[in-house]
Structure 1
Amino acid sequence: MTDRSNTLATIRDNALWMRRRAFSMVHAAQLGHPGGDFSATDIVATLFFGVLRYDPARPEKADRDRFVMSKGHATGVLYTALCRAGYYSEDWLETYMQPGSKLNGHPNRQYVPGVEANTGPLGHGLPIATGIAIAGQIDGSDHRTFVLTGDGEIQEGSNWEAAMTAGHRKLGNLTVIVDRNRLQQGQGTEETSSLDPLPQKWTAFGWEVIEVDGHDHAQLLEVLGAEPGDRPRAVIANTVKGKGVSFMENQASWHHGVPSDEQFAQAMEELV
């Protein structure tokens, strides 16, 4: 088996584990955002197990790549990835959303190793990541900065201020991935505030734009692992909210839905 095949197998195995473990956490806590967790799982798994440079024993290592989870409500996928990557033991996941837990509803870098920025109020992650990328550019560092946003989140104006800045400064060390599942809390993005034509918007701000299947690990690995260019890169990842569980897929209600015992059992049967 080639190194690439081994990497893809590792990504696939971790993505499955992350979906199953995250849904178990949401079921136990009866809190969470599993629909958005599942649309983003393949993206996050590809980053952590095929692309990012990091050392869980030294979370603040200067030359690490940075990952900012801007859609901060998707903690199920983030916490399981960090756990699987070795930042903390699986015992931590048992405390998800419990009183006093470090793993609360939005990530906090003061408590959770591997978290680069406190996120949750939407529209803040890309501006923070842009600042990190500017610092790297000034320092002459070769670290890269990746930020994952929700598509509904792109309706926040602060994203476009950051996009304009990043394009102007030609931040080739910055990649934004848009989790384009076309659903946000309550209804579709296009019914709320239309984003299309989304690729052309990023292009107009001076970004290189690539569209991918956000559940195809091979496509994601090729695009996210590509060498930086001379412009910031926007990866529009077309995804399915609730991916992997039949009754959750493309259902806005699963933005923050929680499963009954029967639904949990069905999901575990399907996630194989």
Structure 2
Amino acid sequence: MQTTVQSSVAFKGVGLHSGQPACATILPAPAGQGIVFRRTDADPAQADIPALWSHVNQSPLCTLLENEHGMSVSTVEHIMAALVGCGIHNAVIEIDGPEVPILDGSSAMFVRGILSRGVRRMAAPLQALRILRPVEVIRGAASARLTPHDTLLVEFAIEFEDAAIGTQKKTLNMSNGSFVRELSTSRTFCRKADVDAMRANGLALGGTLENAVVVDGEKVLSPGGLRHADEAVRHKMLDAVGDLGLAGLPILGHYHGVRAGHALTNDLLHAVFSQPDCYEIVECDAATTARLPGADVHWDEIPEVA
């Protein structure tokens, strides 16, 4: 069955790029609505922004959604990943400005907030998007592909010249609460040279060594170092889960990203929905639902973070 949150939960912090205070509140929503962002600082008639692939205005640094009125909200990928990972299908996210708070740079605080309120099952059947044949998009050395699978399987490979990251690969099945246990605490990361360049251009003004993993060659500059030896590729997988959540339905398929970013995953969803013969919409029975992200999440499995 479809789900929503039992009660509202608020998250306060700053926007990663703007550096301005930001508050996002997840509220229950009716069955069939999906995920909707609502700008509380806007005219109510223009405030709603559906969390859908077709509303992405591609940006190289984050996932940005925009409605037909030009109202936007950015850096939605971490909160979307938390909703997918906790198995939330319907919610309104009220936000008081143009950017979701970055919090600690991962999805951990969003996950804790959602699960502290609880998940409410609704009297409405759940549908999923099942991939029937391979679909792939390529940009230079980067690629993103979806192939048939009976769960959401996420595979990712990255390669960076900084020795602190280097080459990393990982594959995880997202069923049985593995997003919460394995990916939710992994933080966004960047090279010190990129941070310097972004700040010179008025970006990453809210970034700190506490809400991002910053590397410089072999060094990890963030206090306490890494939460996982392969935290970088885990975070790329976290981003992919959030961006795939913009399909509007849980996905049954194997996602394989190589050096992929937000825009390429969005290109992949465009490619999927432009080819109706490569997918089908299925109503989930109990066995299918048990294989979806968030189907078996337990509060005591949330990793502790410093």
Scaled by the length of structure 2, the TM-score of the pair is 0.25
Higher strand share: 2
TM-score of the two chains, using structure 1 as the length reference: 0.27
Q: Which has the higher contact order (CA 8 A, sep 6+)?
A: 2
